[in-house]
Amino acid sequence: MSAVLEARAIGMSFRNGDELTQVLKGVDLTLGPGELAALLGASGSGKSTLLSIVGLLLRPTAGTIAIAGECVDGMSDAQRASFRNQRLGFIFQFHHLLPDFTATENVAFPAAAPAGGISVAMRQRARELLARVGLSDRMDFPASRLSGGQKQRVAIARALMNNPELVLADEPTGSLDRVAADQVLDLMREINREEKATFLICTHDEHVAARCTRRISLSDGRIESVISASAGDGGS
């Protein structure tokens, strides 16, 4: 089975005046279909930078990346934007839903913007996803009237709208209380199992990492360890 993500020798350095800071130093990372991987590391370890590079939001200064078998290195900004739209899903700590739109419209947004409007099929898909994340009774609520946990569920549904092969989550439970965070994590695991979408979750929270099938630890810009949980592990 081919890898969903294949990153080779990823390097990233930033220049700050005369000083060159190397954030990533030759990172190799491969994720297979249906994996639920946690990317762990202390603050400044480079995990968010790696996630941004894998999410095509940042260009690495070294290395190559292939997603779902397609090399993305030579793509233009517009091609990368289109690729992100069609093949990747994002969940951020701050959901940034459009407050003036309903939950359904927010979920459908990634498909609707390039298409020029929300079609019946898109609306149907968005409603199915909202039902999937347990928000059947909030579909037509404006996003501004949802609780924090509900908003993050909508964000998860939105990330899945275009059937992405790879979902990237950056501290997805960082702004939630423990109960809501557990609910969101359970939901992500469930979707991961049922939709077979590959998840890469960037976190510094051991509690989150414990529920994933693989723990990838970054330290000082390098992968320190990769620990795979056996089937059925990953917390419960």
Partner 1 sequence: MFAFTVARRYLFSNPSQTALLIVGVALGVTAFVFITALIQGLALRLTDDVTANSAHVSLEPVTRVARVLPSPDADVESVAIVSTFQRRQIRAWAPTVDLLRSQPSVSAISPQISGSAFLVKGEAVAPVAVTAIDPAGLDAISPISTEIVSGDANLGADGILIGVRLAENLGLSAGQPVLFRTDRGVDRLLIVRGIFQTGLQSLDERVAYLSIETARPLFLLPEGVTNIEVKLVDPARARDVAAFLADATGLRATSWQEKNANLEGALVAQAQTGTLIQIFSLISVLIGIASALSLSANRRRGEIGIMRAFGVSKRFIGGVFVLQGLLIGVVGAGIGCISGYALCAWLATLSKPDGTMALPIAPAEGGYVTVFALTTLGAVLASVIPARSAAGLDPLEAIQQ
| Cα distances (Å, whole numbers) of residue 213 to 104, 178, 198, 200 | 31, 20, 11, 10
Query: Residue 153, CB half-sphere, CA atoms under 13 Å: how many?
Result: 28
Residue 5 Rama label (left phi>0; alpha psi -120 to 50; beta): beta
Supply the minimum distance, in Å, between the C-beta of residue 210 and partner 1. Answer: 26
Q: Rule CB under 8 A: is residue 206 a binding residue for partner 1?
A: no
The residue (of 23 and 211) whose beta carbon lies closer to partner 1 is 23
Closest CB to partner 1 among residues 49, 198: 49
- Beta strands (DSSP E) in 69-219 are 70-71, 88-92, 166-170, 198-203, 214-219
Residue window 103-132: x/- pattern of binding to partner 1, with contact defined by CB under 8 A: ------xx-xxxxxxx--------------
Contact characters 27-56, partner 1, x per CB under 8 A: -------------------------x--x-
The binding track of 52-91 with respect to partner 1, each residue x by CB under 8 A or -, is: x--x-xx-------------------x-xxxxxxx-x-x-
Q: Closer to partner 1 at the Cβ: 82 or 136?
A: 82
Token couple for 63: 């290395």
Please state the closest distance from residue 35 (CB atom) to partner 1, in A. Answer: 21
Tally of residues, the chain: 236
Nearest-angstrom CA–CA distance, 192 and 174: 20
CA dihedral 82, 72, 40, 134 (to 10 degrees): 30
Q: Which residues bind partner 1 (CB under 8 A)?
A: 52, 55, 57-58, 78, 80-86, 88, 90, 92, 94-101, 109-110, 112-118, 158
